[in-house]
Chain A
């Protein structure tokens, strides 16, 4: 078999979905006009498929900080965190995040994906057991592969299922690592963290919560789901990203554990890549300040999220199980998904199309993401675009 022959089925599936006018696998966005508007070809669109939850990508303070860092420190570090790639600003961001999360140690990684790889992949080796929620992000699955941990999967958001699987493990559950997310990226739902913590208290184990989609979104101070539910003390490690609420790129892990810093010498994804660019670090530091000092951003985000959730529910779409800044709309076949997504763009709304392989239940879905920077009028226009497609979509699904 030749090297690329293994992708035969994938190539066919991709070709089948590329019959339309736009490429659903990496749409070209020709212009970014603001945190909430862009241009795709001839279509000016509302961007409702970003993870720009707090709308900070065009924040003047963030831009100014990034520009200053470019001037002062150059375009890139050209080196590993372990070698020449740990600037004062990287360390300062770690200290600021440690203060924000009220945790002893924070390690900054080059992306959120690499943060999970770097922490889980280093901590959970072949002798260790990991229990992960079935809907965990690919970075968590990949991290488990990297470390070679023995992976037990439990049903999505089913704490009783987690408990059943931990009981089967007997004594070995006491040192197992439980992996969940604050807000799940596909359905926008939240982990039943109180129940999971209660199980951990009874049966043991360590708990890692990936708050990638929940930092800046949940909790009185924006620290995520663990803060929202008052269970931070029971969470051993928090991971997250700078590419959502914080509007740039990078990742982090925060913990109270006294040996957390050892990972800097043991984590291959930390060591064997270049560190984040100074400009990204600078804008993240400014964005973190905004997240802390402007709680009204979170309020606006939730007001917009509730407006969109209510609007799409009223139209009769099958949407996620709870209001969230991520509002998935479940569709039928992949072809229906692509057609629906293209029609939305033509009506001036960009959302993310998620092919069935990446979705729970194997259905195509479009995923709307709300930002604090959206105006209520923009949210209404998004709802109206969905309303215009409601009748054809219902007809197509009824005929399927």
Chain B
């Protein structure tokens, strides 16, 4: 079972190289407004998570996600629910 902390840790590792110089990376940073990720980069991030944990994550979860912490929570919640896509 993957923990929420593991997901967040992996996410931050992916995001680190993308953070503009001088922008401290933290779990509550806004992916689009503060980190400057466009929609394609955010979708790519999801793809990386799918491969890192060998799970399926529909793009739909991005609708209410603004920060790494929210994304980790959303992915974790998928792993918890039997009716989610994650296996």
Interface of A with B (CB < 8 Å)?
9, 129, 134, 144, 148, 150-153, 155, 164-165, 168-170, 172, 357, 360, 362
Which of A153, A168, A357 meets B46, CB within 8 Å? A153
CB distance from B59 to the nearest CB of A (A): 4
Given contacts A165-B50, A357-B38, contact A151 B85 (CB under 8 A): no
CB–CB A150/B38 < 8 A: no
CB–CB B46/A362 < 8 A: no
Q: How far is the CA of A170 from the CA of B87 in the complex (A)?
A: 9
Q: Judge if B43 is at the interface, Cβ distance under 8 Å.
A: yes
Q: A151-B60, A153-B47 are in contact. List 5 more A-B contacts (CB 8 A).
A: A134-B43, A165-B56, A169-B87, A360-B40, A362-B38
Q: Judge if B64 is at the interface, Cβ distance under 8 Å.
A: no
CB distance from B65 to the nearest CB of A (A): 14
Q: How far is the CA of A150 from the CA of B38 in the complex (A)?
A: 21
Q: How far is the CA of A260 from the CA of B4 in the complex (A)?
A: 43
CB nearest to A131 among chain B residues = B56
CB–CB A152/B43 < 8 A: no
Which of B38, B41, B54, B56 meets A152, CB within 8 Å? B56
Interface of B with A (CB < 8 Å)?
33, 38, 40-41, 43-44, 46-47, 50-51, 54-60, 85, 87
| Contact count A vs B, C-beta below 8 Å | 45
CB–CB A168/B56 < 8 A: yes
Q: How far is the CA of A153 from the CA of B50 in the complex (A)?
A: 10
CB–CB A362/B87 < 8 A: no
Given contacts A129-B85, A168-B87, A362-B38, contact A153 B56 (CB under 8 A): no
Q: Rank and list the top 8 A-B pairs by shortest CB-CB distance, nearest first.
A: A150-B58, A151-B59, A168-B56, A151-B58, A152-B56, A169-B56, A357-B38, A150-B60
- Chain A residue numbers with a CB within 8 Å of B47 are 134, 153, 155
- Chain A residue numbers with a CB within 8 Å of B50 are 152, 165, 168
CB distance from B20 to the nearest CB of A (A): 13
Q: How far is the CA of A170 from the CA of B41 in the complex (A)?
A: 27
Q: How far is the CA of A150 from the CA of B59 in the complex (A)?
A: 7
- Chain B residue numbers with a CB within 8 Å of A168 are 50, 54-56, 87
- Chain A residue numbers with a CB within 8 Å of B40 are 134, 357, 360, 362
CB–CB A169/B85 < 8 A: yes
CB nearest to A6 among chain B residues = B33
